Chains A and B, each alone.
Chain A
Amino acid sequence: MKLYEYMAKEIFKTNGIPVPQGRVFTSAEGVADFVAQVGPVAIKSQVLSGGRGKAGGIKFASDPLEATDKARELLATEIKGLKVDIILVEQKLRIEKELYLAITYDGARRKPLLIASAAGGVEIEQVAEEKIIKRLIDMNVGLQPYAAREITRQLGLTGQIAKEVATIMVKLYQLFRKYDAELIEINPLVVVDSHALAADGKMTVDDDAAFRFGKDVPFVEEKTAVEQRAAELGISYVELDGEIGVMANGAGITMATLDLIHEFGSSPRNFMDAGGGSSKEATAGALEILLSTQPKALLINIFGGITRCDEVAKAIIQVKESIDIKVPMVIRLVGTNEEAGIALLREHGIESYRNIDEAVAKVVAFVKVKGA
């Protein structure tokens, strides 16, 4: 789950990482008063998509009137298709230096990873590899001050600034651990009046650790309504823009099924990994989701293994009888009692196969005939 910038900064602030003076608004009311206190400001739309600045999501104002106008303007716009509901108004900074600092994880090395660069302010992907410092962190030791001092040395920092940046690094790692973060990024970490502070803040926390989040971790909804419904059913679902609705069990086999649909000349409407369950309720819920996106045909690919195919078949038949399915449906079924399952489905007029190639060829043929 991605947190908004203002949420990340609130967490930074309460944990001793300095941030610019700022306030959150949901309307232009009160903006003028705030600007009268702090002087020129940056007005930043709070959206979760990257590249916000380039998309016009950040505006500057030098007096209360201008700030009110621009706040109103931003709150009425969409940034990359996302409506702006919240703005963060911050004191404008006289930036002397921009750095990049992040803590994330290296999956291949199985360890937390600190990334730092003296070339901050732009996306880290655009920074030349030799200007990026990467340091794996041993979880048994954590990020200790000595390591932070070495990184600031490599960044070319000296004196008070080096000390402050090293302190921020150590605190950032503590936050990474405390909040079960997948990523905490400060870009840019700026030097203003010879002090370091976090001019931006990104934080992604691990959904799998939600059971131990404290009250200070806000909830941010990122999913579409359909994806939300799928999540409630324990289904992993991603909407795509093709023709054939797909349901399979297992992420890898679902991906491979989508590949095969392409290979046979059609395209998938979605990715749906329905997991291991074969209950009527779960199957019905999954099919309802598929049908809600109006595919031209349905393909269900179940490699049951231990799952009993006759039970899966019964669930599908029951669902078919209770929901009006107007599009052709093809099923591939493998596992315990597969013959019985396939026979049962055929009796009820549902095309079913043991081999994946036959099933995909059939469902693509349905779509092509219809399209012709």
Chain B
Amino acid sequence: MTIMINETTKILVQGMTGKQGQFHTSQMLESGSKIIGGISPGKGGQVVHGVPIYDTVEEAMMAEIAEASVIFVPAKQVKDCAFEAIDGGIKTLVIITEHVPLHDAMEIMAFAERKQVQVVGPNTFGLISPSKAKIGIMPNSIFIPGSVGVVARSGTLSYEIVSQLTKAGIGQSTVVGLGGDRVVGLSFIDVLAQFEADPETNAVVLVGEIGGNAEEEASLFIKTMSKPVIAFLAGKSAPPGKRMGHAGAIIERGKGTYDSKVVALKAAGAYVASLPWEVSDLVKKALAEKKEA
């Protein structure tokens, strides 16, 4: 088992005929994803990579019910497409696009909450259950299947951490990118709870960063978990008041600092790696200690 997606998850791709949409559709198909339709208004009836294109989500859902959808459209159009997917009955929505306006993101989350839809992103690399399915843009080659769950705020940094795990022979059950924006759908806790409940996940790696209090809030939940959590955080050396690329990655008024996050995580019983390549050793150590206990 995995969380959120597997080889049976039926997926729509919104914005499939664009350059990004086409390329990543082929990559997702290669990783095993069951893509049953693409949405591109005005292009219904075409076929891309063997996948039928529909004009609207409703039309696609009449042909076959999809559980998940991934959005590749420009930022201006994201709100409309997200509403369309949520209204159309999609249960898991992944928004890859970055620079989605803050108010649009909040409106999307309000509607998703009402319809009980889980939203991954915006500004996420997506999620993958290696060898089963991928909804996102990450390179397939760095993942191997296994029993360590990974949840991250940041894209390439999680590739770095996952590569280290893979090199050390540690496979992943599911890897989830929450997204780097100020307002995103899933929180660390939402994903940690699913990993905790997943019988095939034995440990969880959390990749966080400075800014906000997502890691501090996650710590409250980690305290209650039976599975070990290994954390790595970026931004240890970042000066206060400078926004480091991600909208959320800024230390404001002494809040969201590296130290406050490490203290909270350690107090909750999490292992904290201070260097990226220490993560795989800590995962092995955590699993060994768990076995002894």
- In the complex, the answer to whether B103 meets A252 with C-beta atoms within 8 Å is no
Of listed B104, B182, B213, B214, residue having the most chain A CB within 10 A: B182
A262 to B258: give the CA distance in the assembly, Å: 14
Determine which of B157, B183, B213, B243 lies in contact with A256 in the assembled complex, contact meaning CB atoms within 8 Å: B157
User: Does B51 make an interface contact (CB < 8 A)?
Assistant: no
User: Does B64 make an interface contact (CB < 8 A)?
Assistant: no
- In the complex, the answer to whether A305 meets B139 with C-beta atoms within 8 Å is yes
User: Does A233 make an interface contact (CB < 8 A)?
Assistant: no
Q: Which residues on the A side are within 8 Å of B75 (C-beta)?
A: 208
User: Using a CB-CB cutoff of 8 Å, which residues 244-277 of chain A contact chain B?
Assistant: 248-256, 258-263, 267-268, 271, 273
Q: Please classify how large the interface on chain B is, using the bins under 10, 10 to 19, 20 to 34, 35 or more.
A: 35 or more
- In the complex, the answer to whether A240 meets B239 with C-beta atoms within 8 Å is yes
A309 to B159: give the CA distance in the assembly, Å: 15
A252 to B245: give the CA distance in the assembly, Å: 8
**Shortest CB distance A360–B (Å):** 10
- In the complex, the answer to whether B217 meets A108 with C-beta atoms within 8 Å is yes
Q: Which residues on the B side are within 8 Å of A304 (C-beta)?
A: 139
Q: How many A-B residue pairs have CB under 8 A?
A: 152
**Shortest CB distance A334–B (Å):** 7
- In the complex, the answer to whether B156 meets A250 with C-beta atoms within 8 Å is yes
User: Does A232 make an interface contact (CB < 8 A)?
Assistant: no
- In the complex, the answer to whether A208 meets B237 with C-beta atoms within 8 Å is no
A268 to B210: give the CA distance in the assembly, Å: 17
Q: Which residues on the A side are within 8 Å of B209 (C-beta)?
A: 251-252, 255
Closest to A267 in B: B237
User: Using a CB-CB cutoff of 8 Å, which residues 70-98 of chain B contact chain A?
Assistant: 75-76
- In the complex, the answer to whether A206 meets B102 with C-beta atoms within 8 Å is yes
User: Does B144 make an interface contact (CB < 8 A)?
Assistant: no
Residues A251 and B275 in contact in the complex (CB < 8 Å), given A108-B187, A138-B110, A256-B160 = no
**Shortest CB distance B172–A (Å):** 15
Determine which of B106, B114, B155, B274 lies in contact with A250 in the assembled complex, contact meaning CB atoms within 8 Å: B155
A304 to B142: give the CA distance in the assembly, Å: 11
Q: Which residues on the A side are within 8 Å of B185 (C-beta)?
A: 110
User: Does B244 make an interface contact (CB < 8 A)?
Assistant: yes
Q: Which residues on the B side are within 8 Å of A322 (C-beta)?
A: none
Other than A251-B245, A303-B156, give 19 A-B pairs with Cβ distance below 8 A.
A110-B109, A110-B113, A180-B103, A206-B102, A208-B100, A238-B244, A248-B156, A250-B155, A250-B156, A252-B234, A253-B157, A253-B160, A255-B235, A258-B237, A260-B276, A263-B275, A273-B245, A303-B159, A357-B277
